[in-house]
Amino acid sequence: MAERRGSRRRMRDIVFKSVFQYDFHKDIDVAVKFLMSESSFHSLDGDSLMRAQKYLKSIVEHMGELDEIIANHLINWSFERLSSVDRNVLRLGTYELIHELDIPIEVTLNEAIELAKKYGSDEDGRFVNGVLDRIAKVYSPSSKRNL
């Protein structure tokens, strides 16, 4: 189980950095190439690689919807003012809360907090937690509450 958790954590880290690349370059090919390179470098297993590719493709496809949901759950802050780290961690977390039905809400929140702290600060972790918690209460399917 710990190995699976570590593999999923690496997968999320790679997806976050790939979405970050997409956000910077606005080019899916650049993001996919980055994802493949990072997956190879970190020896991501086949299942995790397929999941990472699915996440990246789906986040990019749903980016407008994800950004709108995030923007609607910011308190005293605007979407445009989000740091690149916070924006892309929130995109990943929001996607997972809404579209990945086999991932418990608590896991998504914890993983997003860790990414925000790793690439930002402890304060970013608290900020991301607050936003994703509000999003989870509105958008996460009730079936995820019992995982």
Q: What is the pTM of this model?
A: 0.94
Residues 6+ apart with CB under 8 A from 104: 144, 147
pLDDT tens readout for residues 80-98:
999 999 999 999 999 999 9
Alpha carbons 107 and 4: distance in angstroms, whole number: 13
pLDDT tens readout for residues 59-70:
999 999 999 999
Given pLDDT bands bounded at 50, 70 and 90, which one contains residue 145?
confident
Among 65, 119, 117, smallest CA distance to 91 is for: 65
Could you tell me which CATH number the domain at 62-147 has?
1.10.940.10
Contact 79, 114 (CB under 8 A): no
| Token pair 């990414």 in the structure block, residue | 115
Percent pLDDT > 90 in the chain is 89
Q: Is the pLDDT of residue 7 over 80?
A: yes
Percent pLDDT > 70 in the chain is 95
Alpha carbons 103 and 12: distance in angstroms, whole number: 12
Q: How far is CA 99 from the centre of its chain?
A: 11
pLDDT of residue 143: 84
Q: What is the mean pLDDT of residues 33-39?
A: 97
